[in-house]
A and B are shown apart, each in its own frame.
Chain A
């Protein structure tokens, strides 16, 4: 039957089973590839992976850096600053649009248009306007994130029942209090969910920009090592990116559960 509940143990077994299946499949195709060509580096063996991980976590004799450390640091700073500016701007614009029809009328057309321009295509413009410093990456993330996130926030506000807003006024709230104390708190879990959904796209924009313009960062390293067919380095970097995205998503989920416990009851 559709949506039939399953036991928690079944859920865990299925989740782990899928991962084991993928790893087994990878091991099989890696084994096959290396049987045909023992020097292959496109589908590394687990042993090659160990060498690759060692390469990225130990000090590189030429640069004197640990690749993983410097790249993670550069990417994380760019991502968090970009996310901070983008999320802050999106909340501000989304709240204005959702609460005041004058801003709704002013912003919706321009945001609808901006949302249709692929951020990677506009990289050239940012390259000219802001150079290749951290501002370029922030601009990429903000441009990619702000239109869709502010529209999501705007639509969440539209879902707030009028009755709650009217009632707030009868309880003595000012316009500002209705916006901050009622509407914002009502949509806060939706904002967190929307941010969670934007983590992936933000990383796409950042990695794409780093591949093209950076001299340090996860995107830069992946592009460089992929050109040298060092997939024993590329795959661990992808795993780190996946783990990083998963961790941020998990933290946001925990924050949502902590500050919006009521949301999980509904």
Chain B
């Protein structure tokens, strides 16, 4: 399948981002641009700072050095739209974590509608007994549409405790997507799921990519830009149209450092795009997998 291409407007830009916790240097000089419509798989060895980079983009742990910006864009225009410098979490970035993904006290549809409620109304506005009930109904209808999109209309009145891990993750994705974020950030979202459920959710991401292709062909804005952090290389190659490798094993000595200054991007290449109905085969990807593994281990030069 043909990928969306590399000439789309930038949605997220990490500009010379470094981060450390006391003496522990985690990220070093990360330069990463994510373009509209991309599904980027971020891989790397354990403890290399994948989640730290994701938290920096979310805004919960802004980088100690460098800047992260998010941009909005208009379809058909290559120039950047309004930009936001990330200093705190904001509604332009959706996040789905591996655990604690949903509010336990809300049903699935209320969880999905929560963002609309928080974003479009205030506590005082919700006391208006004339306008609030009708607005609330609209929010719930919209939530139902998104639950349908992730295939969970039948579970709309279930609480998270009554749902399986996979169902919770799908509701969490709908919860984030209803806000129409500039980018959806997934922090090892399927790590705790069984293989069958993981594959089902991977196919859901591939369907999102299909919607991007349809939107691009129609000249509309691309609805989904996704950064997925995963320790599963196969998953990154399967769902992503681009794979970024982050590793602390790089040739920092020749860059003039006495000790490792933190992980940096050692691999950044397009990936083969799968169709959701394609069989999940990785035979043709063995060479790319080997390249990524070598880059992550520091056995080769950076491939960016």
A residues near B (Cβ < 8 Å) are 161-164, 166-174, 176-177, 180-182, 185-186, 188, 260-263, 265-266
Contacts and interface: CB of A to CB of B under 8 A. Distances in A.
Nearest to A177: B118
B53 to A, nearest CB: 15
A182 B123 CA distance: 12
Given A171-B118, A177-B118, A166 B101 contact: no
Interface in B113-164: 114-115, 118-120, 122-123, 159-162
A161 B100 contact: yes
Nearest to A264: B161
Contact of B118 (A161, A163, A168, A265): A168
B89 A170 contact: yes
The 10 A-B pairs at the shortest CB distance, nearest first, are namely A172-B119, A169-B89, A171-B115, A265-B161, A161-B100, A172-B91, A163-B100, A173-B118, A262-B159, A163-B97
A117 to B, nearest CB: 36
A182 B93 CA distance: 19
A181 B103 CA distance: 10
Interface string B90-107: 110111010111011110
Given A262-B159, A262-B161, A171 B175 contact: yes
> Is chain A's binding surface mostly helix, strand, loop or mixed?
helix
Given A170-B176, A265-B161, A186 B118 contact: no
A166 B58 contact: yes
24 contacts: A166-B58, A166-B89, A166-B95, A167-B101, A169-B88, A170-B95, A170-B176, A171-B91, A171-B115, A171-B118, A172-B120, A172-B179, A174-B118, A176-B123, A177-B122, A177-B123, A180-B123, A181-B118, A262-B104, A262-B106, A262-B160, A262-B161, A265-B161, A266-B104
B60 interface: yes
A2 to B, nearest CB: 25
B181 interface: yes
A125 B90 CA distance: 51
